[in-house]
Amino acid sequence: MAGNSFGTVFKITTFGESHGKAIGVIIDGCPPNIEIDEDFIQSELDKRRPGQSKITTQRKESDTAQILSGVFEGKSTGTPIAILIPNEDQRSKDYSHISDKFRPSHADYTYQQKYGIRDYRGGGRSSARETAARVAAGAVAKLFLKQHGIEIFAHVSAVGQIESPNLDTTDLNHLLEIRENNIARCADPATAQEMIELIDSVRKDGDTIGGQVATIVRNVPVGLGEPVFDKLHADLGKAMLSINAVHGFEYGSGFSGSQMRGSEHNDIFVKENDTVRTKTNFSGGIQGGISNGMDITFRTAFKPVATIMRDQDTLNEDGDAAVISGKGRHDPCVVTRAVIIVEAMTALTIADHFLRNKMYADGK
């Protein structure tokens, strides 16, 4: 199976399955002498772990990270960092009823057709359980970016038809505090309560619902990204679309920009205190595929979780009609736990481009 690695210089490779003994990640290319705060890495994993509230899956995993290599006396050594996360609460019997059936809108059919074999227990390698490894790696990337003053903040901006109003993003730490004080992980308290009530009602109805995550990256230097195939927004898009259940990505003005005129949409350059900025930020901090020093902004759309607690028509491996019943422990809405996954993939993308950009330093 190809496609288990992400990044060029700051590169990760994840391994493991949903119901295997463990999942994990190898981080290659992390510079030496980075302060590796294990408590911070664990706190990031705690934000993604299952069973944390009434509106998430009730699978109980501590997601305890074990650093096996690449760190000495609290600092990265420059060698590959290996992180292992044991699986503790597998209930494989919850999936025995689908061993020969294809779940609607899951990877079951395509996986079986491509590889001729599949681990039906929670989806195996295609399970969102794999994203815990990304969060651990993303935490290391965040620690690296922190040394360069780069901040990343994401929150749940929409669930179904409920949308958060535009936020004052002056103080990202304040928004983070608000986000972590509600289980919806929305940085607007009033909207968060509406979201919680909607998700809970959908859960009780045996159904699921989609949502959106909005992200802002601050203090990114000018020059990250390449102008052709490795545009910064293209790599951010790939990073987001690689997350389970993501069906859409837009940066800056996004699709709404297609309804504007150039005279409205153009970001006019100004100079403030010897710093070049733009009056508006419809470009989302990226122009020509390269960061321009403004805040990078984008939105990620998640579909409803495919497993619902209702009977659905399907086919089995022989092509015969069958009925499938939702069982097991699943999220009624994935975005509340996906926020930290979005931040992790953002950090990995920015860290990779930051290091790639260093190759131009001598030529400037």
Tens-place pLDDT, residues 69-113: 999 999 999 999 999 999 986 565 566 777 889 989 989 999 999
**Beta-sheet pairing, 22-28 with 11-16:** antiparallel
Residue 348, CA atoms < 13 Å, CB-side half-sphere: 32
- Its sign, for the CA torsion 40, 46, 67, 78, is negative
Q: pLDDT tens across 249-276, in order?
A: 999 999 999 999 999 999 999 999 999 9
Region 108-127 average pLDDT: 87
Which of 360, 31, 363, 30 minimizes the C-alpha distance to 223? 360
Residue 38 confidence (pLDDT) above 80: yes
- Asked which of 3-12, 115-124, 143-152 is least confident by mean pLDDT, the reply is 115-124
Query: What is the pTM (predicted TM-score) of this model?
Result: 0.94
Sequence-ordered alpha helix ranges (H) in 17-162? 38-48, 108-115, 131-146
Q: What pLDDT is attached to residue 53?
A: 73
- Decide if 232 contacts 291 (C-beta within 8 A): yes
Amino acid 55: pLDDT: 81
Confidence of residue 22 (pLDDT cuts 50, 70, 90): very high
Averaged pLDDT score across all residues of the chain: 93
For the cut 60, the answer to whether the pLDDT of residue 363 exceeds it is no
Q: Per DSSP, what are the bridge partners of residue 278?
A: 269
User: Contact 279/270 with Cβ under 8 angstroms?
Assistant: yes
* Cα–Cα nearest to 234, from 280, 278, 286, 157: 286
Q: What is the mean pLDDT of residues 104-127?
A: 88
Between the alpha carbon of residue 273 and those of residues 6, 219, 244, 276, 285, the distances in Å are 38, 16, 43, 8, 19
**pLDDT given for residue 231 in this prediction:** 98
Q: Cα dihedral sign for 159, 160, 162, 167?
A: positive
Check whether 362 has a pLDDT greater than 80: no
- If you compute the radius of gyration of the chain from its CA atoms, what whole number of angstroms results? 21
Tell me: pLDDT of 141 over 80. Answer: yes
Is residue 121 predicted with pLDDT exceeding 90?
no
Q: What is the pLDDT of residue 334?
A: 95
**Mean pLDDT: which of 100-109, 124-133, 147-156 is highest?**
147-156
